[in-house]
C-alpha cells in the first residue's frame, strides 16, 4: 500500500470515529436535589401517555417535589389525585447490572416512584412521551411494580409484583431497583427498601433503559438519585 493510500485509509477511519453516532450510558451518578447541586440539563421532562398535561418539579430547600396545588396532602389526594403527575428521566441510558436508587417520601398515602423506560416517543408532542415502562412505586401499604405497555394501540397497565408492608407518610425511604441477568440468561428485577426486598423474573426488561422519577397521586418529595 502506498503512503497516500495509507493516509486515505487513516482519514476514513478517523471520519468514522468522528461521525459515528454515540450511545451514551450513565456509568455512575450521585445527584443531590438541593438548590445549586444538580442541573436540569441532565434530565428530560417527560409525560405519561395517560395524561394530557405536562408537569415538572418544584425546588425546595432539601429536595424537589411534584407540582401540586398549595393545599394539604389529604386534599391533594382526594381532589387532585389524577392531575399532579410529574416525571423526568436522565438523558443517559442505564445498563443492566446497574442499581438505580432514590431517597423519597410522600405527604399522605402515595405515590413517589422510580421509572424505567425502554423508549421515549417524540412523534406527537414536543415533550417526549413514555413508551413501554416499569413503575416501582412506594406508598402507604408497601411497594408495587406496575408494567405499562400497549396492546392493539391501547394502553395496557397491570401489576407484576408487590410487597405488602406499612410505610409512613413524611418518612424518608431509600428505594433501590436493579435489573440483571441470571446465570441462565433470564432477566430479573430486584427491589429493596430498607430491610425489605423482593424480586421476580421479567424477560421483557430491556438491556438498557432510561431511568428517572415520577411523583403522582399526592405530594411526593425526592432528595437524591443515584446510579451505581
Residue 15 within any structural domain of the chain = no
CATH number where 182 lies: 2.60.120.560
Helices (H), the chain: 3-19, 73-79
Residue 137 within any structural domain of the chain = yes
Q: Which domain holds residue 108?
A: 24-227
Residue 13 within any structural domain of the chain = no
| More confident site: 145 or 183 | 145
Model confidence pLDDT, tens digit, residues 12-51: 333 333 323 334 566 789 999 999 999 999 999 999 998 9
Residue 5 within any structural domain of the chain = no
Model confidence pLDDT, tens digit, residues 156-180: 999 999 999 999 999 999 999 999 9
Strands 86-90 and 43-45 turn out to be antiparallel
Helices (H), 20-162: 73-79
Residue 4 within any structural domain of the chain = no
On the question of pLDDT at 57 being above 70, the answer is yes
Number of domains in the chain: 1
The pTM is what?
0.87
Residue 133 within any structural domain of the chain = yes
Confidence of residue 220 (pLDDT cuts 50, 70, 90): very high
Residue 14 within any structural domain of the chain = no
Q: Hey, what's the cell of 122?
A: 417524540
Amino acid at each position: 500500500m502506498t503512503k497516500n493510500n495509507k493516509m486515505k485509509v487513516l482519514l476514513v477511519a478517523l471520519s468514522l470515529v468522528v461521525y459515528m453516532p454515540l450511545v451514551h450510558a450513565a456509568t455512575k451518578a450521585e445527584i443531590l436535589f438541593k438548590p445549586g447541586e444538580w442541573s436540569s440539563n441532565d434530565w428530560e421532562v417527560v409525560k405519561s401517555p395517560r395524561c394530557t398535561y405536562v408537569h415538572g418539579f418544584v425546588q425546595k430547600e432539601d429536595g424537589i417535589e411534584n407540582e401540586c396545588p398549595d393545599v394539604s396532602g389529604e386534599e391533594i389526594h382526594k381532589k387532585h389525585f389524577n392531575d399532579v403527575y410529574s416525571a423526568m428521566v436522565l438523558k443517559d441510558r442505564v445498563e443492566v447490572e446497574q442499581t438505580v436508587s432514590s431517597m423519597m417520601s410522600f405527604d399522605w398515602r402515595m405515590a413517589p416512584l422510580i421509572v424505567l423506560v425502554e423508549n421515549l416517543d417524540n412523534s406527537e408532542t414536543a415533550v417526549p412521551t413514555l413508551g413501554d415502562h416499569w413503575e416501582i412505586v412506594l406508598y402507604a401499604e408497601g411497594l408495587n411494580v406496575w408494567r405499562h405497555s400497549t396492546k392493539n394501540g391501547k394502553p395496557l397497565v397491570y401489576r407484576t409484583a408487590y410487597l405488602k408492608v406499612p410505610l409512613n407518610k413524611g418518612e424518608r425511604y431509600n428505594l433501590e431497583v436493579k435489573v440483571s441477568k441470571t446465570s441462565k440468561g433470564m432477566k430479573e428485577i430486584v427491589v429493596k427498601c430498607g430491610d425489605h426486598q423482593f424480586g421476580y423474573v421479567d424477560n421483557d426488561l430491556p438491556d438498557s433503559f432510561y431511568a428517572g422519577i415520577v411523583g403522582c397521586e399526592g405530594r411526593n418529595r425526592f432528595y437524591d438519585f443515584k446510579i451505581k
